[in-house]
Amino acid sequence: MTKKPYRLLAPGPVPLPKAVQAALSRPILHHRTPEFEKILTGCLHRLKDVFQTKHYVILHASTGSGGMESALLNIVQPGDEVLCVVSGKFGERWAKMANTYGAIVHTLNVEWGSPVDVDHVQNLLKQYPDIKAVFTQVCETSTATVHSIKELAERVHATSSALVAVDAITAMGCMNLPMDEWGLDVVVAGSQKAFMLPTGLSFVGFSERAWQVCQKNPQPRFYFDWRPELAANEKSQTFFSSPGTHLMALDVVLKEFESFGFHNIVRRGHHLAEATRQGAKALGLDLFSKAPADSVTAIAMPEGVDSQKIRSWLETEHNITVMGGQDQLKGKIIRVGHMGDITDEDMLVFFECLAQGLSREDRLPVVQKIVREELAKAAKAFQ
Ligand SMILES: *Cc1c(COP(=O)(O)O)cnc(C)c1O
């Protein structure tokens, strides 16, 4: 039997467009060449457009968590009070990281699957007026929940002088996140999610206020220090060897964002997510999140169905990769990603298999109709 085509529907890494794969197989270009320097400056410039900032965006050869560490090291020093919104696995990461570097961490625990209540954030800032920075996710990937970041930032700035630092690893590149307009001080993104690249690049945007804090921050740091990085960028270089191949591919992605129109990319993603949400409901399933994100959807499994079993059955029998739940959500949900080069066929085959796995084939015609309608809207985003 021939193996079925591989369908990657995870919230990162994601399937890469052909043009990106082609860029990744180009011969190595040395980073001290005019041709490369042009690619680097072009990428840095276009990243600012995606982040919608006039201020600073740098990149690191690291995974997304490296970008988070970069954010933390440059704006926080040991003994600083920080507030971490913990609404899932990645929120826990902020708290652990801040703790590791000697910050005094106040955590705002949010029920998994719920968005953060900005009143609670404001109350904590009043209670602890020395909080220097608020760390949160934009989309908490482990629960597929999107927070109201615009309101959160507004509330923080109205209440205190704390910086707002967001992990936008499954938000930047697939949702409208105007950094300057919303008053976001640090924004972290990663290559293997909406940027449709292999794992290994992180992007960090920061405001003028964050830059001022960074310059005075005595916290020891070396690899992730923004100061030499920015100085190198001004000379069309990076602080260390540039991840050249990744950057050639990033160049392709950012030019694609530009030529399709970034708002169309966002629109397409929204309809893919909507197709998944509507399709799941038509299959008689509930969404886990109370504020579903457009980058990833968490579908709750019916009582008595172990999502881990469905997940591994999809993988072994159908060559489809989706993610399960972590910790308290283990066995309860499957998470389907909407980022990257996902085809209509990927979506339709996924629902066909899911219906089969749950013995709900009778509902499939209705599901397919609904999914196809949303996919048609997604396609229109690019016309
Ligand atoms: C994927 C992800 C990360 C971690 O990224 P790595 O590249 O694995 O370090 C962090 N935060 C969120 C919200 C993510 O989705």
* CA 313/CA 317 separation, integer angstroms: 6
pLDDT tens sequence across 70-96? 999 999 999 999 999 999 999 999 999
Cα(289) to centroid(ligand 1), Å: 19
Ligand 1 centroid, distance to 64 Cα (angstroms)? 5
Q: Measuring CA to CA, which residue among 18, 12, 335, 9 is closest to residue 193?
A: 12
Q: What is the pLDDT of residues 97-140, one digit of tens each?
A: 999 999 999 999 999 999 999 999 999 999 999 999 999 999 99
Cβ-Cβ contacts under 8 Å for 25 (sequence gap 6 or more): none
Number of the ligand 1 atom closest to the C-alpha atom of 67: 9
Sheet holding 202-206, edge to edge: 56-60, 202-206, 186-190, 163-167, 131-137, 81-86, 104-109
Looking at residues 358-380, what average pLDDT do you find?
A: 96
Tell me the pLDDT tens digit for each residue of 137-174: 999 999 999 999 999 999 999 999 999 999 999 999 99
d(CA 49, CA 100) in angstroms, rounded, equals 33
Report the alpha-carbon distance of residue 269 to residue 139 in Å, rounded.
14
Q: What is the pLDDT of residues 316-358, one digit of tens each?
A: 999 999 999 999 999 999 999 999 999 999 999 999 999 999 9
Q: Which atom of ligand 1 is nearest to the CA of 192?
A: 7
* Ligand 1 near 183 CB (within 6 A): no
- CA nearest 139: which of 113, 120, 118? 113
Tens digits of residue pLDDT in 197-224: 999 999 999 999 999 999 999 999 999 9
pLDDT, position 118: 98
Q: Mean pLDDT throughout 41-58?
A: 98
Structure tokens at 63: 């995974």
Angstrom distance (rounded) from CA 168 to CA 115: 15
pTM check: above 0.95: yes
Mean pLDDT of 40-63: 98
In this prediction, what percent of the chain has a pLDDT beyond 90?
98
Give SS3 for 136: strand
